[in-house]
Structure formats: C-alpha cells, structure tokens
Chain A
Amino acid sequence: MSAWSASSWRNRALTSRRITGRSSAAAAALAVCLAVLCAFPAARTSAKQGKEATQPVTCGTCHVGVVNSYAHAPMRHAMEPVATNPTLLAHPNLTVQQNGYSYTVQTSNGKSIYTVSDASGNLSLPIHWVFGQHSQTFVLEKDGKLYESLVSYYPREQALATTPGDQELKPKNLTEAMGRELSQWESLMCFDCHASGATRGTHLTLDKLTMGLECERCHQGAQQHMADAADDNFKTIPKPLKRMSSGDVLNFCGQCHRSWETVVRNHWKGPAYVRFQPYRLQNSRCFAADDPRISCLACHDPHQPVNHDQAFYDKKCLACHAQTKAAGPAAAPSNAKTCPVAKAKCSTCHMPRVELPGGHAQFTDHQIRVVHPGDPYPN
C-alpha cells in the first residue's frame, strides 16, 4: 500500500476546494469536510499534527468508525496470526491421540509447533497459518507442499480432534498423519477466503499475505479510491454494496460462504453443506431476490461481531411476519403468515441450530421454514 501523509491529504483536499470558483460548491465541500473531520476524531488528530506527521493513509483514515468495529468482526479474524492467537496462547500445550498417532500443538515465545508422532518417530512443523477464529485448523508447509492439519482445535471441548471431512482418512505414515495434502485449487480457495493478498490468478502469493479479510476483499477498488481521494478525486468510490439486491448480496457473500447456485451446480448435498448460509437461506420459501428484508445484510452487519442474542433477530422476522403491515414500503407478501405459537425467539424454531458432522459445534440452519418432526433433513 502506498503511504501518504494523512494531514497533507486533508490539507490538499481543503485547499483544492478553496480555489474552485463556485462558492456554493466550495461551501458544501467545506461542510462535508468539516463533518468528516468531526465525525472521525482520529483523522482530525492526524490533520492537527501538521506537516511533520506522516501517517500512512488507510481506510481508517476516513472510515474510522467502521474500521474500528470491523477489527472485531469474524471476517477480519478468518485467519489468526500465530504470535497473538488467543486460542493457542490460552492453550499452549494441546495434545490428542488419533488413529495410533499422537498429536501436539505447543506454543511458546510467539511460535506454535505442530507435532505428530508414532512408534517410528515424530514429525514437527511450525504453524504459519491458523484458519478460523473459534474452531481452528492449521495449514502446514512441508517440502514446498501445503497440508491441512489432520487435527483441529475445537472451542467446545477446548481440545484437538479430527478436522471436519478427514474422518475417513487412514494415514499410513507420519506425513499422511500430519495432514491432508491440499491441491493448488483448494489452497487458492482456502487462502482467498481467509486472507488478503494471498492469491493472484492461479498463483498463491503467500509472501504478500495479510491475515484475515481486509477492506479491499469486499470493497474492490478501495486502493484506487484511496489513491484518487488523495488527489481530491472521489469519482472512484467503490460500488456501494448496500445498494445490491438481496439476490446479489447472497451471491456476493456466497463467494466464500457458498451461494445457492454454487452448491447446486456442484451437486453438493448432505448435512455438511448446511453450513453454507446463503445456500440455505435461498432454499427458503420466502426468499425473494428483490426484498431487502431477506438478505444476509438484513440480519448481519459484516463489520460487526455476530450477535448471538436470539431476540435480536425477532424484529427481522417480524418485518414480514408481523400482524400489521407497518414494516415499510416493501409491503409484506400477502401470504406471510404470523406464527400461532410464539412471537419471540423465532429463529430457535424456524432456523434451528444443528450439529454439523464432525464439526464439534452447532450451527444455525439458515433455511427458514416450519420444522415438522420427522421432516427429511437437510432437504
């Protein structure tokens, strides 16, 4: 990322606006700038520090509020740095016995070592990449190849256990017991959704990787926008994602969380795929691509931590299923029924939490429905 002086950027923006001849525009621009400066104390501080302060311009220079909240959002922590990984720091000596092999993950001095051993010896590798914020899987490098660790950390048990999807593997040697070799394509997909700058076309660029998802991952063009904004050009603001239709939002988030079309096109089926929320949500009878009340963004702000309070989501459901149609301009569909059983904690019944096979966690099934006992699951 190129570095500019935040204060000089601000000064230039102000200066260039002052020298334009149209006073009304200048006044408006000045008002905007003042509003921006007032709204974002950090940016104002930078500007106040004057010419000698040379802080790099980042998204947070202007969008400090959202950047600060995003620092705690799950996507920002899709990959955790080893040295500051709270999970590994809290559990510096993890061990488990699996399939005749002994596994340890030992953490000290900001480094974590993954070791697998059996009667024939042991194999130790440093952990460079930790995928996930809560449940964590390690990607290991050996002889130029990448491997997904055969055991992962699960917060529910606070212990290591087999990585989801690897239950059927029967390792025949230490390398196989250490991890499952990742194909180039798996590696590209994994790193592309858990890190930033890790891929370029068909190539992994792990030397340029930043852990977790940075703004640019979703807001394509953010870098250009910063460069242009430094020159007082605000014509290249990234496409505002808020204006996307619900269908487009699901497909957008589905790039990583898997869209309905991706799951169907790949003929993926079974309980393991219930974790793909856009796919499940779009399976819902009430889904409509043009209705903003049913989209990822209707319930979740990707810049915020996930809200685990079931009651928080009730008003989202009631936006359609309320007894009155006071939900706004997009009127409730005529067949949006009200629940005869309860008016609160809708999602506990209609989006039940399910146990993923081998996932050591419960997951909210995002397919909204009336759940009947004995219904085939997943459909």
Chain B
Amino acid sequence: MSLSRFKKRCRGAKRFRRAAAGYALLVALSCCAHPDAAAQQAPGFDDLAAQAAAARDRQNIPAAIDLYAKAVQARPDWTEGWWYLTLLQYSTNQYPGAIDAANHMLQIVPHAVPAMALRGLSEFEIADYKSSLRDLEMAVQHGAASDPHNEQIVRLHLALDLTRADRFQDALEQYRALAEKQINTPEILIGIGLAGMRSTSFPSEIRPEDRDLYVGAGAAGFAFLAGESNQADTLFEQMFTKYPSAPNLHLFYGLLLYSHDPELAVDQFQQEVAVVPANEAARALLAFCLVISGKFKEALPEAQKAYAAAPDMLLAQLALGRSLGETGDIEHGTELLKKVLAQDSDNLEAHMGLAALYARAGKREDAYRERMVCLKLAK
C-alpha cells in the first residue's frame, strides 16, 4: 500500500474516531473514577481500559490494541473496547483483526453502523468483496454515508464492490452522490469510467494503456452525474472522436441520458450497436427505449434481434412483446409479456404492456385490471 493511501486510510479512520468521541469520554470518565487502579499489581478491567485509552492518546497504537484486547477479554460485553479494537486495527492495516473485533461488536450491537462500515472496508481489503458489499450496502442504508467525513470512503468502496458484482447502475448511483457534492478524485473518475463502461475491474487492475479511456469516460460521466450535462455532452463527444470503437462508451452515455429522456438515449444505443453489433444489452435497451418512446415499428426489428440473441433476457422479452403487440400481433405480444410475468410476477413494465395490449384489443376489463395492478405496484 502506498504511503499516501495509508495516510488517506488513517484520515478515514480518524473520522470514525470522531464519531466515537462519546465512547472515549466514557472511557476517560471511568478512568477518573478509579485514580489508584493502575497501582494494583494485577490490573483489572478498569486499569486496562484506562491504560488503553492513554496509549491511544499517545498514538501508541500497538500498545493500545494490546491493552484493548486484554480489556475485552476481561469484559467481553465492553462495546467501546471492541469498537476501538476495530478502529485501531483497521487504521493499521490489520484487517482480519478489525473484522473479528467488528464481529464481536455487532453481536452485541447489531446495528452499530460505524462498526458495520469498518468491517465492510476491512473485508474489501482482504478481497472478501461479497461480504464487503453486504456490509457497506447495509451501512449506507443505515446512514453511514450521511456523515460527510465518512461519505467518500464508504461510497467509493461500496461503488467498487457494486461494480465488481455487475451492479453497474447501482454503482453509478453511489458515484452520483459524490459527484453532486463535487467530491472528485482520480480513483472516483476511473471508478465511474469502469462502472459506466461495464467493466468489473477495480481501478488498480486496469492496464496502463486503458487508463486514459476510463479516466476520460469517468470525467464525462462525473460531469453528467454532477448535473453539468452540457459539459458532459462535450466531453462524451470528445471521447467518441478519440475512441470511436470503444465498446460500451455509447452505452454508458445512453444509460445516463435514459434516466432523463429515453428518446435522447436512443441515438446513443443505436451508435453502440453500430460499434458492437453483438452488444445484446445495448440492442435490448435500444428496443426498450423505442418502445417507451412509443416508436413501436422502429422498436420491433431491434427487439427481434435482441430476443434472437438473448431469448432469456427479460428486457428483450419485454421489448419484443410490447412492440409485437403494438404493431398488430397482439397474441404473440401478450404471450411474451406473460412469459415475463411468469418469471417476475411484479414486473411493472410487463403489466403496463399487457394493459396497453388489452386496451388495444378492446378488452376493457382486462386492460382496466392490469392498469389497477400497475397502480398498486407503483405505490
């Protein structure tokens, strides 16, 4: 680990330390209550706690860890002790120990969000990305990122875990939260580029010759996520010129545009399938965007190609079902949409499609029933 990264890590740890100020105060108060405890030959719990706090205050981290470990042995339900063991071991790259301490703390206080977050960060460091994702996602759900001091480190690692797990859109939502606050580092930019371009790699794993591509895509994505859409458009156009055949670059921009205006996304998905005709996801997205833009005739051939290439893809089934039905083949369209519901009975798009096809077929009651299902699902 580089020095700068270590320092950054320690800064992150200090932030958690602030959050634990209340715990430290309790420790200090307990020390004051027993002024002569240190004079005893066999130090008891209170002595150990006081000595641990003192060592921590002197920045003698190895001694503090040792003393906290002894103190929690003496009193296993001492949450402050487990917390500092988690924090100090994480700060000094002793990740298995930090995880073990966090496990103890979370057994006592299952919703101790800082411990959950530190365990997630530690698991990331030992390459247990699945556990890290579980913990960091839970921690963020419970407010771990609402402290501005912790937000960057927690969201970045969660985004990296999500990217690794193929959950690229969820990763981009974490990056969006950082971009909206203009939190911008090289690692964040590359992370955005990787998530946007559908790569499960970490920034540290990319080839040096690919770095500029991901940084550039990340910078364009960052501008978009920060709300600077004009700047993002300029940056993406520059990237398209510089990397005309880069897979998933147009897909990235298309997906960003999609959340605001599916019709604008269509052009990007069209360009993506022109660059990589075998990009099934892009073609299914193209077909789906055309469907929700009401361009069913244009959607149909794209949906047919997407379905032929990936018949199990729900999006392809949805796009083909809806576009078939809306262009006259209501029977087969309905069949496909029902196939989607057989796999996912609460699929809103499938119910919306059925509502539209039943209405088109003059089946008022069926259409009304499906519309009411949609209203319930949308709640």
Contacts and interface: CB of A to CB of B under 8 A. Distances in A.
Contact of B368 (A203, A248, A285): A285
Interface in A161-202: 183-185, 188, 201-202
Interface stretch (A62-70, A147-155, A286-294): A286-294
B360 A290 contact: yes
A264 B264 contact: no
Main secondary structure of the interface of B (DSSP, over half): helix
Given A201-B264, A202-B230, A289 B375 contact: no
Interface in A274-295: 282-283, 285-291
B379 interface: yes
A333 B367 CA distance: 14
A245 B360 contact: yes
Interface string B354-375: 0010011110100110010011
Nearest to A203: B230
Most buried by B among A252, A260, A291: A260
Contacts of B352: 261, 264-265
Contacts of B233: 201-203
Given A185-B229, A202-B264, A267 B367 contact: no
A251 interface: yes
Contact of B261 (A188, A287, A290, A291): A188
A269 interface: yes
Contacts of B360: 245, 247, 289-290
A184 B223 CA distance: 12
A379 interface: yes
A206 to B, nearest CB: 13
A183 B225 CA distance: 11
B230 A260 contact: no
Nearest to B362: A290
B292 interface: yes
B348 interface: yes
Interface string A283-313: 1011111110000000000000000000000
A255 B8 CA distance: 49
B378 A269 contact: yes
B44 interface: no
Contacts of B230: 184, 202-203
B261 A185 contact: yes
A286 B348 CA distance: 22
A247 B360 CA distance: 8
Contacts of A188: 260-261
Interface string B228-258: 1110010000000000000000000000010
Nearest to A282: B371
Contacts of A287: 359, 364, 367-368
A269 B379 CA distance: 7
A28 B349 CA distance: 50
Contact of B260 (A185, A203, A288): A185
Most buried by B among A188, A202, A283: A202
A154 B5 CA distance: 58
Nearest to B227: A183
A288 to B, nearest CB: 5
Interface in A248-269: 248, 251-252, 260-261, 264-265, 267, 269
Contacts of B228: 184
B328 interface: no
Contacts of B294: 248, 251-252
Contact of B348 (A252, A265, A283, A288): A265
Interface string A207-251: 000000000000000000000000000000000000001011001
Interface in A351-379: 379
B292 A247 contact: no
Contacts of A333: 364
A203 B237 CA distance: 14
A190 B238 CA distance: 28
A208 B229 CA distance: 20
Nearest to B267: A201
Given A184-B230, A269-B378, A260 B359 contact: no
Contact of A289 (B227, B348, B356): B356
Contacts of B348: 264-265
Contacts of B364: 285-288, 333
A251 B326 CA distance: 13
A190 to B, nearest CB: 13
Contacts of B260: 185, 188
Contacts of A251: 294
Nearest to B361: A290
B145 to A, nearest CB: 22
A114 to B, nearest CB: 24
Contact of A283 (B349, B362, B375): B375
Most buried by A among B228, B257, B361, B368: B368
A202 B359 contact: no
A184 B292 CA distance: 22
A252 B295 CA distance: 11
Contacts of A283: 371, 375
A247 B264 contact: no
Contact of A290 (B229, B359, B368, B379): B359
Nearest to A290: B362
Interface of A: 183-185, 188, 201-203, 245, 247-248, 251-252, 260-261, 264-265, 267, 269, 282-283, 285-291, 333, 379
21 contacts: A184-B228, A188-B260, A202-B230, A202-B257, A203-B233, A245-B360, A247-B360, A251-B294, A252-B294, A264-B374, A264-B378, A265-B378, A269-B378, A282-B371, A287-B368, A288-B364, A288-B367, A289-B356, A289-B359, A289-B360, A290-B361
Given A287-B367, A289-B356, 15 more contacts: A184-B227, A184-B229, A185-B260, A202-B257, A245-B360, A247-B360, A251-B294, A260-B371, A261-B292, A264-B348, A264-B375, A285-B364, A288-B367, A289-B359, A289-B360
Interface of B: 227-230, 233, 257, 260-261, 264, 292, 294, 348-349, 352, 356, 359-362, 364, 367-368, 371, 374-375, 378-379
**A-B CB proximity, top 5 nearest:** A289-B359, A184-B229, A185-B260, A264-B378, A267-B378
